[in-house]
Amino acid sequence: MVERAIDPVYLSEQYGTEERLRIRIEAHQRYSERADDYLDWILDRLQPRPGDLVVDVGCGVGSIHPALRALSVRAVLGVDVSKAMVQASQRQANERGLPVIVIEADAQALPLPDDAYDCAMANHMLFHVPDQRAALRELRRV
């Protein structure tokens, strides 16, 4: 499973369009047995404050961005290695009137300055990264 999770062909099939990701998200929303809300769980651990700059690495379609903006964070930068996810996330942000910028980049080498963000997150994506330590170092660095 680990090899498939980082296989570029497999990842292109899974994230080349937003359809398969949306199906997985919907399945979790409908059939998860957890009583807690995952979005609340993320925000509780991230603890963004009003005025914070937040980077969301592996942002997918940007599902968490409206909740971050509702908490009055100053700005959200979405980052994804998939061009399709970048386009979907930016489109949704634009449709919702959210001041979110989304860029295409690899979590293992973020094109961002040191200490530029107050909060960094990488939800449901590290298992797709060949060098997870490098990605975690990058999250800490930015």
| Mean pLDDT over each residue of the chain, to the nearest integer | 89
Tell me what pLDDT residue 6 has. Answer: 77
Nearest CA among 10, 118, 133, 131 for reference residue 56: 118
Share of the chain above pLDDT 70, in %: 96
| Whether the predicted pLDDT of 36 surpasses 70 | no
Full DSSP string of 79-113: EES-HHHHHHHHHHHHHHT--EEEEE--TTS--S-
Instruction: Indicate which CATH number applies to the domain containing 90.
Output: 3.40.50.150
| Whether the predicted pLDDT of 95 surpasses 60 | yes
| Whether the predicted pLDDT of 1 surpasses 60 | no
Tell me what pLDDT residue 9 has. Answer: 77
Tell me what pLDDT residue 129 has. Answer: 94
| Whether the predicted pLDDT of 135 surpasses 90 | yes
Residue 30: CB atoms within 10 Å: 7
> Is residue 120 within 8 Å of residue 94, measured between CB atoms?
no
Can you give the residue range of the structural domain that contains 39?
2-141
- Binned at pLDDT 50, 70 and 90, residue 18 comes out as confident
Q: What is the pTM of this model?
A: 0.83
Tell me what pLDDT residue 34 has. Answer: 67
Tally of structural domains, the chain: 1
> Is residue 117 within 8 Å of residue 77, measured between CB atoms?
yes
